[in-house]
Amino acid sequence: MSSIAPNTHTLPSYLPAHELGPWGTYLQQVDRVTPYLGSLSRWVETLKRPKRILIVDIPIQMDNGTIAHFEGYRVQHNTSRGPGKGGVRFHQDVTLSEVMALSAWMSVKNAGVNLPFGGAKGGIRVDPRQLSRGELERITRRYTSEIGVIIGPTKDIPAPDVNTDERVMAWMMDTYSMNEGSTATGVVTGKPIALGGSLGRREATGRGVFTVGIEAAQRIGLDITGARLAVQGFGNVGAVSAQLFVEAGAHLVAVQDHTDTLYNPAGLDVAALQAHVKAHGGVAGFTGAERITPAQFWEVDCDILIPAALEQQITEENAPKIRAKLIIEGANGPTTPQADDILAERHILVVPDVIANAGGVTVSYFEWVQDFSSFFWSEDEINARLVKVMRDAFSHIWQTAQIHKVSLRTATFIVACTRILQSRELRGLYP
Ligand code: NAD
């Protein structure tokens, strides 16, 4: 009889323990869910190892004639339930650990809202603000070509994330299609409408944040009318979330982005702030509020806090000072496990990223379906379907949390990891 290797967790050699970063956060989240997986826990190592990692060199010619090399990644964490799905991030601090964690959170998110996708994520270690339009196009096209061996409409479907938008998706779709010799609209989502994009996709993540936020607020007896809102990150997710909450009667009292932190207890004018950000690239210089320090942002007197920028923002340092009753994670991975525990002790309800920001990938799924059938739905139809998916998923996760007396994050992991590992078990191991 052959010996069976012990089913213990060992770290991959390509990611030393001291460089675990966000992947370490994810591993701790998996450890927390393992006791709830019953007999499926024998498959849990599947969740702790990405299925496939591709690291690519991206050489491009800069406008000044020099050749620059950038590092790019595409990680497919799990494809048991369907093709990989997840965004592409352009940021100077992108690391393998970050992309691995983001790809795993996509697996959990997609399974949590029951989309027929696995999880994947990509990124380039570059500050796109330092690139000209031509350089940005060249880096996007070369990256797409390099990862072209593992992406495709039925293999892995990228989408926008931090610092990538529909223009970048158009270049990615075109590059992949040129290499394939036929137009493949379904290879990316978040495309321009004219290229097979979906109505409602741009606002979808913020709309999802708002939808689950309303559901959570109702359950803790928090009235949205007059509620005070603080938002970190005023990009796609933060700005749309803020706008929808303000339309529902809330006041945006504080906002922070990479340029500045602003406070106005009477409420900032969201439309004017959006126009300012569009014109100036950030909230800095907006006159309808006073400036506060970045640290003060976390101490602002508010009812709802939406982190919608980067990961690991709510930490054991600032979690004890947060005054919100409800935190809705627009960003991926904004709360460390230590901060999670502090917030739970303080009875602050956290709606975790893996459900709160799933609106984007849900409408990405609708976009992918529409591209396959070449039949496009109305915006009302898309928004109605999105709201139903988000409400149903939230309700299921809320019930799971009540049954097991766990946080919404662990409940989402219970629902999602059970679905992923059931698929894993049903498919069996090859060979
Ligand atoms: P974006 O590029 O449109 O906006 C990012 C925002 O974060 C900007 O306002 C930027 O100024 C701010 N920011 C960057 N660094 C910061 C810092 N150090 N401190 C404070 N603010 C900072 O990106 P986005 O698409 O809105 O994504 C925001 C978050 O939401 C990310 O974590 C992303 O992974 C997540 N997310 C996005 C989508 C989507 O559909 N766009 C879907 C799911 C999750």
Specify if 391 maps to a domain.
no
Both 178 and 248 in a single domain? no
**Atom 35 (ligand 1) nearest CA:** 331
85, part of any domain? yes
- Output the CA–CA distances (angstroms, integers) from residue 33 to 327, 328, 401, 412, in the order listed: 21, 21, 12, 9
* Residue 60 CA from chain centroid, whole number: 28
Residues 6+ away with beta carbon under 8 Å from 366? 198, 377, 382, 385, 386
User: Which tokens in the block code for residue 402?
Assistant: 């009540």
Return the pLDDT at 44: 96
Instruction: Answer with the one of 319, 338, 356 that is the final residue of a domain.
Output: 356
Q: Tell me whether residue 404 is in a domain.
A: no
Whose structure tokens read 């970190």?
232
Tell whether 122 and 64 lie within a shared domain: yes
Residue 28 lies in a domain: no
50 lines ligand 1 (CB under 6 A): no
State residue 205's pLDDT score: 95
| Pocket of ligand 1 contains residue 352 by CB under 6 Å | no
CA distance 258 to 331: 14
State whether 153 and 207 are in the same domain: no
> Is residue 214 a part of any domain in this protein?
yes
> How far does residue 257's CA lie from ligand 1's centre (Å)?
9
Are 40 and 19 contacting, i.e. CB atoms less than 8 angstroms apart? Answer: no
3-state SS record for 87-132 = EEEEECCCCHHHHHHHHHHHHHHHHHCCCCCCEEEEEEECCHHHCC
- What per-residue confidence (pLDDT) applies to 9? 56
User: 94 with 222, same domain?
Assistant: no
Q: What's the structural domain count of the chain?
A: 2
**What is the rounded distance in angstroms from the CA atom of residue 413 to the CA atom of residue 111?**
9
**In the block, which residue shows the tokens 């005054």?**
323
- Taking CA atoms only, the protein residue closest to ligand 1 atom 14 is 258
Q: How far apart are CA 351 and CA 216, in angstroms?
A: 8
Q: Look at residue 246 in the predicted model and tell me its pLDDT.
A: 98
CATH number of the domain at 333, please.
3.40.50.720
Is the model's pLDDT at 3 over the cut of 70?
Answer: no
Is 278 one of the catalytic residues? no
| pLDDT higher than 90, residue 223 | yes
Q: Is the pLDDT of residue 128 over 70?
A: yes
Band the pLDDT of 256: cuts 50, 70, 90: very high
Strand order from edge to edge, sheet including 67-78: 52-61, 67-78, 119-125, 84-91, 156-160
268 with 148, same domain: the answer is no
Joined tokens for residue 270: 């969201």
User: Is 236 inside any structural domain?
Assistant: yes
Return the best residue to mutate from 198, 236, 259 for the ligand 1 pocket (most ligand atoms within 8 A of CB): 236
Is the same domain home to 177 and 208?
Answer: no
Dist CA 177 CA 187 (whole Å): 9
Is residue 277 scored above 50 in pLDDT?
A: yes
Longest dimension (CA), the chain: 75
- Domain identity same for 209 and 350: yes
Per DSSP, what are the bridge partners of residue 254? Answer: 230, 263
Q: Is 205 in the pocket of ligand 1 (CB under 6 A)?
A: yes
**Residue 1 pLDDT > 90, yes or no?**
no
Q: Among the three residues 151, 183, 215, which one is the final residue of a domain in this structure?
A: 183
User: In whole angstroms, what is the distance from residue 331 CA to residue 61 CA?
Assistant: 33
For residue 400, is pLDDT > 80? yes
Distance 307 CA to ligand 1 centre (A): 9
| Contact 328 CB / ligand 1 (< 6 Å) | no
Ligand 1 touching residue 239 (CB < 6 A): no
pLDDT band at 7 (very low <50, low <70, confident <90, very high): very low
List, for residues 335-353, the tens digit of each pLDDT value.
Answer: 998 999 999 999 999 999 9
What is the span of the domain harbouring residue 65?
50-183
Q: Do 282 and 260 meet the contact criterion of CB atoms below 8 Å apart?
A: yes
Assign 56 a pLDDT band (cuts: 50, 70, 90).
very high
The token duo for 282 is: 């950030």
Whether 236 and 281 share a structural domain: yes
Quick one: 230 and 141 in the same domain? no
Residue 55 lies in a domain: yes
Q: What share of the chain in percent tops pLDDT 70?
A: 98
Neighbour-count burial of 116, counting CB atoms closer than 10 A to its CB (0-12 exposed, 13-18 middle, 19+ buried): middle
**pTM strictly above 0.85:** yes
- Domain end, chosen from 313, 336, 356, is at 356
Range with the poorest average pLDDT among 18-32, 47-61, 307-321, 352-366? 18-32
In the prediction, which pLDDT does 13 show?
A: 83
207 shares a domain with 176:
no
pLDDT of residue 15: 84
Helix (H) or strand (E) holding 248: none
For residue 2, pLDDT over 60 is answered with no
Residue 369 inside a domain? The answer is: no
Distance 191 CA to ligand 1 centre (A): 18
Average pLDDT, integer, range 195-214: 96
Dist. CA 74 → ligand 1 center (Å): 19
Q: What does pLDDT average to over the chain?
A: 95
Q: 327 and 238 in one domain?
A: yes
Q: What is the mean pLDDT of residues 37-45?
A: 97
